[in-house]
Amino acid sequence: MIKIYTIIAFLFGLVLPLTAQDKADLQAIQRIRKEGLEHSRVMDIAFQITDVAGPRLTNSPGLKRAQDWAMKQFSEWGLKNVQLESWGKFGKGWQIDKYYAATTVPYYHPVIASPKAWTPGTNGLIRSEVILIKADTVTDLDKYKGKLAGKIVMFDQMTLQPLQNTYKPDAVRHTDSVLNKMEQASAGTQRPRPAGDNNMRAQMMKIRAVRTAISAMLTEEKVGLVLTYARGSYGTFFTSNGASYALDAGPVSPELEVSAEDFLHILRLLRAGQKVEMEAEIKTSFYDQDPNGYNVIAEIPGTDKKLRDEVVMIGGHYDSWHSATGATDNAAGAAVMMEVMRILKTIDFKPKRTIRIALWSGEEQGIYGSRGYVTKHFGDPKTGENEKVSAYYNLDNGTGTIRGIYLQGNEAARPIFKEWLAPFNDLGAGTITINNTGGTDHLSFDAAGIPGFQFIQDPMDYNTRTHHSNQDTYDRLVEDDLRKSATIIASFVYHTSEREKQIPRKALVKKSD
């Protein structure tokens, strides 16, 4: 204990003095570190979200199991205002009830694959010769009409290349040079999006039109099953949705997203004129009784008479894709944020401002849960609710430990966060960059003028192996990293709650008409 305190005090002394309200509370940090690093429950939480609840596609039974468990857990910890709050209409839920597929000719081989989200099943076991469809234009489809009913089909994708071995490690951590580059970035050096290529855009529109026509033809022909190529290698495949979740979505064919090795194996045989036969059975269920989407909300109420109506928010998305259990995307972030609340309750913290956690749904389809929440609560500037939120902190970049924070262009927050990160330099956290990482729920708050932040995390194997893949399981979580992340965020939340003033805000950019 003395050793930890000494390290903290030393690192704290290296930071240039700021105003008194931005000084890190070392005694509070010591209590947070002890609970977060020595008595962590983060892996128990992650186990419940992944192994117990299962895949958590929005509006699926798996997400509902996870939401019910989280609310029960929050109540047991003593959090208040625990609720399942609707953010608006989403559409149908969906889950896989059964999946099996294998080639039987030229020999038996089980196929690594997954049904695409929101696609139907096969209505029992089907057996078929695999038919290779070659179609570059809509008119190329005419020769297949009347011949595909009940058949298993795949397309001759001429652009597919043989898989290449990789000699780079799957899991990596940020090097000092990478972190230094982040730190030195300035607002004007953020890389703009490349300009679009009109010819490329036209080609993409043409390909999309052909694919739409092909999909319609296959459905009309009552194809038994469509095999599609899934990005990935070494048995890992990255999944997606194959149909709309809208309540009024039209019919589509059963579709199986096949791992690269198995897809290319079948494709090579068919191109060589070899006969391939398969059998498959897929059963999926749709859930449309309640099309609304929901977020889990819970609070530690504020105690200061002047500040208790203000809020410090934390969150991460709770939904996942369906081919695994969404461990790094984003049970990791959700478990860390739940652990933050547990830590603060366990040390009997009585915050000045209210601390609120949100476990979002619909993030994978377009950050719908957080957008809906922000629109509902903070969307009207006239209500003043927007001004009551000091900051929102998000975690959604895998299992990697926190190395710092993205300022989202909010330079005024830099000296504050520098002070708060200093006691955690020994855990590898200290980088502050003006840059932003996009594509997740802090953007909903930032768009409303609320300071919204995402933490810098070590990449690990997030982009190479787990993100949206069939390998995104509990086994990919790194306990030590999650413990550190929860401890650091708990300290940020503590200091944001106790700070005399709110976190500084950027000027809200008005949208042009």
* Extended strands (E) in 55-92: 80-89
Distance between CA atoms of residues 69 and 65, nearest Å:
6
Tell whether 253 and 342 lie within a shared domain: no
Residues of the domain holding 403: 24-90+295-498
Mean pLDDT of 136-158: 88
Tell whether 102 and 84 lie within a shared domain: no
- The answer to which of 51-55, 153-157, 422-426, 501-505 has the lowest mean pLDDT is 153-157
Whether residue 239 contacts residue 323, with contact meaning beta carbons closer than 8 Å, is answered with yes
Return the CATH number at 369. 3.40.630.10
Q: Examine the fold and report which residue of 230, 255, 287 is the final residue of a domain before the chain moves on.
A: 287
Distance between CA atoms of residues 55 and 62, nearest Å:
6
- Residue-wise pLDDT tens digits, 414-423: 999 999 999 9
Omega of the bond leading into 110 within 30 degrees of 0 (cis): no
Tell whether 107 and 130 lie within a shared domain: yes
Q: Is the pLDDT of residue 198 over 60?
A: no
Tell me whether residue 378 is in a domain: yes
Q: Is the pLDDT of residue 313 over 90?
A: yes
Q: How many CB atoms lie within 10 A of CB 385?
A: 18
- Residue-wise pLDDT tens digits, 454-472: 999 999 999 999 999 999 9
At 1, the pLDDT band (50, 70, 90 cuts) reads very low
pLDDT of the residue at 20: 63
Tell whether 404 and 491 lie within a shared domain: yes
- The answer to which of 114-128, 190-204, 281-295 has the lowest mean pLDDT is 190-204
At 215, the pLDDT band (50, 70, 90 cuts) reads confident
Tell whether 320 and 250 lie within a shared domain: no
Q: What is the CA 490 to chain-centroid distance, rounded?
A: 21
At 240, the pLDDT band (50, 70, 90 cuts) reads confident
Cite the DSSP H helix spans in 250-405: 260-271, 332-346, 368-378
Omega of the bond leading into 330 within 30 degrees of 0 (cis): yes
Q: Is the pLDDT of residue 379 over 80?
A: yes
Tell whether 361 and 415 lie within a shared domain: yes
| Host H or E run for residue 201 | helix 198-220
Q: Is the pLDDT of residue 19 over 70?
A: no
Order of all β-strands in the sheet with 152-155: 109-110, 93-105, 277-287, 126-133, 152-155, 225-229, 255-258, 113-115
Beta bridge partner(s), residue 129: 277
Write the DSSP symbol of residue 449.
Answer: T
Tell whether 257 and 349 lie within a shared domain: no
pLDDT of the residue at 6: 40
- The answer to which of 71-85, 184-198, 308-322, 468-482 has the lowest mean pLDDT is 184-198
Q: Is the pLDDT of residue 190 over 90?
A: no
Distance between CA atoms of residues 401 and 392, nearest Å:
19
Mean pLDDT of 37-41: 98
Domain count, the chain: 2
Mean pLDDT of 116-133: 97
- The answer to which of 37-46, 52-61, 78-87, 235-244 has the lowest mean pLDDT is 235-244
Return the CATH number at 126. 3.50.30.30
Q: Examine the fold and report which residue of 221, 254, 287 is the final residue of a domain before the chain moves on.
A: 287
Tell whether 38 and 164 lie within a shared domain: no
Tell whether 386 and 308 lie within a shared domain: yes
Distance between CA atoms of residues 406 and 289, nearest Å:
40
Tell me whether residue 119 is in a domain: yes
Tell me whether residue 413 is in a domain: yes
Tell whether 215 and 240 lie within a shared domain: yes
Tell me whether residue 478 is in a domain: yes
Q: Examine the fold and report which residue of 255, 287, 319 is the final residue of a domain before the chain moves on.
A: 287
pLDDT of the residue at 112: 98
Q: Which of 73-77, 141-145, 161-165 has the highest mean pLDDT?
A: 73-77
pLDDT, mean over the chain: 91
Tell whether 268 and 303 lie within a shared domain: no
pLDDT of the residue at 314: 98
Tell me whether residue 2 is in a domain: no
Tell me whether residue 194 is in a domain: no
Tell whether 163 and 59 lie within a shared domain: no
pLDDT of the residue at 205: 65
